[in-house]
Amino acid sequence: MLDVLAQRQAGEANLVALMLESHLFEGKQPLKPGALRYGVSVTDACVGWETTEHLLKTAAERLS
């Protein structure tokens, strides 16, 4: 994400969106009923909420 922000700050106007895979807690886990940890993705690996919050605040500061 930081690379995309740097490109946008450098004037790359074609970058208009960014996808961030985020969940409550970072990582991923196998889908095993009864053994799931709340807030952890069962599909793709995700960044956790603290990292998400930091990245969004950084983006807002750099793009404002």
Q: Give pLDDT tens digits along the chain (64 positions).
A: 899 999 999 999 999 999 999 999 999 999 998 899 999 999 999 999 999 999 999 999 999 8
Contact, 18 vs 43, CB < 8 A?
A: no
The dihedral formed by the CA atoms of 47, 50, 51 and 55, expressed in degrees to the nearest 10: 130
Query: Given this model, what pLDDT does residue 42 score?
Result: 96
pLDDT value of residue 33: 84
Q: Report pLDDT for 53.
A: 98
Sorted by where each begins, the domain ranges of the chain are 21-64
pLDDT of residue 29: 97
pTM score: 0.81
